């Protein structure tokens, strides 16, 4: 029991030093991205770092109490692999995001989301199964690891750091792969930023800004209430970050506009419909 208390006291000391440094107990800011939202991959690294620190101190304390002051012979291979998994995933995810932002394929808007919900949601707030799967296997592996650390104190005279089950390693690896794969493909989905203007009579020229809009690609279409507008003859002023269209004289479904009608705007490019929509308000009836 004492080694476990020493391990907890050590973590309390680390958190205390963090408070002295940051004047805050919220260590989860270490897992935040540049946009101020919790990063799933960084959060995973933080959790594994805390648990492995705790396990190491508990095992060493147990050995010291029983008169063994020799250094630990080895770090279990799967523990090293797990740490490498998490660090590698976080680094790769950061590289992908940085590359897409630099290339104009992705925009990170601060404060769009906040709190723990960002750990299992994409940038638009929609549930992300790849993130949920990644965290589920991670939490399971962490709980099992902590239980094994405590069990070592009972069954071994000179406890060692326990290893992680091979099946859990495989499942965590699959979770990492799914997470990175989703991150690589997410930016192919158009994401809308804003409309300019957001209201006006029929015939108003509207500019939609965003990312991955397709620009001059012939597959790009603007949709009003899920009805695609005809392809414009001139795409010279279209680009990957903006498209321009005109509000037609009538609703694309054939009904006349009434003042105050609201229409949902989406962009489709290369078979992908924009992850979000914007709303335009018609301010006058059809002529």
Q: What is the pLDDT of residues 31-48, one digit of tens each?
A: 776 666 777 778 888 888
Same domain, 161 and 271: no
Task: Kindly state the tokens that stand for 56.
Answer: 């190491």
Which one-letter DSSP state was computed for residue 68? -
Tell me which of 149 and 36 has the higher pLDDT. 149
Count of structural domains within the chain: 2
Same domain, 127 and 223: no
The pTM of the whole model exceeds 0.85: no
* 230 falls within a domain: yes
Same domain, 68 and 166: yes
Same domain, 130 and 201: no
Confidence category of residue 114, pLDDT binned at 50, 70, 90: low
Same domain, 196 and 167: no
Reported as half-sphere exposure (CB side, CA atoms, 13 A), residue 286 has a value of: 10
Same domain, 171 and 202: no
- Looking at 186, 202, 230, the residue that finishes a domain is 186
The contacts of residue 91 (CB under 8 Å, 6+ apart) are none
Kindly report the length of the chain.
287
Same domain, 93 and 124: yes
* 287 falls within a domain: no
Res. 240: pLDDT tops 60: yes
Structural domain boundaries enclosing 18: 2-186
Instruction: Say which CATH number the domain at 249 has.
Output: 2.60.40.10
Task: Give the position of tokens 């060493």.
Answer: 60
């Amino acid at each position: 029991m004492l080694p476990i208390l020493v391990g907890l006291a050590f973590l309390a000391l680390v958190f205390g030093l963090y408070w002295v440094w940051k004047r805050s107990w919220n260590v989860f800011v270490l897992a935040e991205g540049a946009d101020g939202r919790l990063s799933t991959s960084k959060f995973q690294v933080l959790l594994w770092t805390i648990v492995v620190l705790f396990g190491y101190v508990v095992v060493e304390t147990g050995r010291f109490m029983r008169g063994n002051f020799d250094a630990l012979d080895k770090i279990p291979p799967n523990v090293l692999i797990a740490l490498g998994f998490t660090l590698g995933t976080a680094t790769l995810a950061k590289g992908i995001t940085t590359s897409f932002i630099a290339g104009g394929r992705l925009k990170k808007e601060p404060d769009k989301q906040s709190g723990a919900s960002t750990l299992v949601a994409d940038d638009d707030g929609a549930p992300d199964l790849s993130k949920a799967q990644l965290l589920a296997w991670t939490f399971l592996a962490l709980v099992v690891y902590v239980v094994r650390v405590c069990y070592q104190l009972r069954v071994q005279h000179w406890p060692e750091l326990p290893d992680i089950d091979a099946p859990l390693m495989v499942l965590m690896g699959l979770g990492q792969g799914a997470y990175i794969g989703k991150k690589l493909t997410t930016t192919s989905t158009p994401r809308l930023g804003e409309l300019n203007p957001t209201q006006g009579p029929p015939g108003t020229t509207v500019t939609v800004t965003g990312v991955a809009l397709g620009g001059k690609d012939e597959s790009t279409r603007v949709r009003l209430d899920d009805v695609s507008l005809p392809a414009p003859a001139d795409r010279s002023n279209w680009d990957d970050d903006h498209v321009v269209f005109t509000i037609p004289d009538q609703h694309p479904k054939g009904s006349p506009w009434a003042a105050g009608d609201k229409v949902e705007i989406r962009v489709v490019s290369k078979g992908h419909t924009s992850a979000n929509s914007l709303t335009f308000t018609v301010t006058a009836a059809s002529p």
